[in-house]
Amino acid sequence: MSDNSRHITSFKVKNFKRFESFEMNDLGQFNLIVGDNNVGKTSLLEMLLVDELNVIATITNYRQALLNHKVFANPKFREFSYFRNLETSINEILFSSTTVDRKFYEVRFNFDKVNLMFKIFGIQNREYDYFYNDALFSIEEFSVPLIPFSKGYDSDLVNFYSRFIQSLPKEKELLFEYMRIFIPDLIYIEPSAPKSDESIFLIVTQKSKNSTLPLGFYGEGTVKLFRILLEIIANKGKRLMIDEVDTGIHYSRFSSFWNVILLAAVRHNVQLFMTTHNEECIKYFVDVLSEPKMKSYQKDARSISLVELPDKSVKAYTYPFGHLEANILMGNDVRGGAR
């Protein structure tokens, strides 16, 4: 972690899913993660859900990650518990529930500032001091800083908007300004219930249209940009993980997409970790950072290539911006992958 923010410059983990031992070094504020299928890009984003300063936030984050994977049958996680291991000084967290295949599983991890363990076990002998129960805290208090693959419009956006944006006029206007790259004549986006007895939707008002439309009616790219921007604003000073950042974005929009995402991240001091398989997306990332007004951020940009080695371990190779740019200019494949 650097001195003046919560951005990390290196990360080390042991026994997290497929990674027995894994480290990333020389991280920047904008990190593109590339690599072959099943090399562990999404797992890497999940590793970063650990919150060094907040155990409860960490629990919430991992619970949501497990829900994203649909590992557990019970979406409410009634059997979810947090224990502290009496035999070690390290915080240890235990999730337990019945999985979709009706087997009982426990997911356990312990962490300190640099090491994280994450393993699925069968039923264990409980050598733990009961510390925390699911019923004692509310997931509503936290925004989980991970945008999973293909997360489109959902009711969570309304809650999110209400909690983090609605009461902040300056942030709200900034959000609208950012969104105008996809909806140029946007006036505002506000939660609204079309009829008093119906659910609340986010409604878009445009200058050129007499009627309003729900945000969900707009394309996947527009919803995705909105979600990313909300998360950036909500995670001010922290880090945000975005799986397959390019999904839903037309190539002709990549330039403005990157422009607004990177500038928003700078303004709100958010460290980004984003996976992609898309070569054009990476090229536009480099192009945008080569524009005169963006050049000063090149020092903060990295591409991190995950590669499986012959012993099946995975290693991360960090490319500083100049190296990524040189590879793009020479037409080398910058998406990682097997050789």
Partner 1 sequence: MKLRATIFVEGKSDKFFLKQFLKSNFGLEVPDNQIIQVDGKDKLPKFKEWFVQGSDQNLKNLIVFDADKDFETRGQSLIDICDNLQVESEIFLFPNNNSVGNLEVLLEKIINPDKAFIFDCFQDYLQCLQKQSEIKLNLPAQKTKIHAYLDLLFSKTMVEERNYQDSELWNLDHEYLNPLRAFIKNHIS
> Which positions lie near partner 1, rule CB under 8 A?
305, 307, 309-310, 315, 317-319, 322-323, 326-327, 329-333, 337, 339
Which residue, 169 or 310, is less far from partner 1 as judged by CB?
310
Q: Which residue has the tokens 């005169």?
A: 292
| Sign of CA pseudo-dihedral 291, 293, 294, 298 | positive
Nearest CA among 65, 220, 204, 213 for reference residue 148: 65
Contact between 165 and 175 under an 8 Å Cβ cutoff? The reply is: yes
Which residue, 293 or 339, is less far from partner 1 as judged by CB?
339
Contact between 1 and 8 under an 8 Å Cβ cutoff? The reply is: yes
DSSP string, 203-234: EEEETT-SS-EEGGGS-HHHHHHHHHHHHHHH
Integer Cα distance of 175 and 313 in angstroms:
41
Contacts of 87 (CB under 8 A, 6+ apart): 127
Residue 309 beta carbon to partner 1: minimum distance, rounded to whole angstroms = 5
| Other Cβ atoms closer than 10 A to 191 | 16
Q: Which residue has the tokens 């240890």?
A: 92
Integer Cα distance of 44 and 314 in angstroms:
11
Q: Which residue has the tokens 């504020």?
A: 29
Residue 44's alpha-carbon distances to 6, 22, 138, in angstroms, are: 18, 9, 26
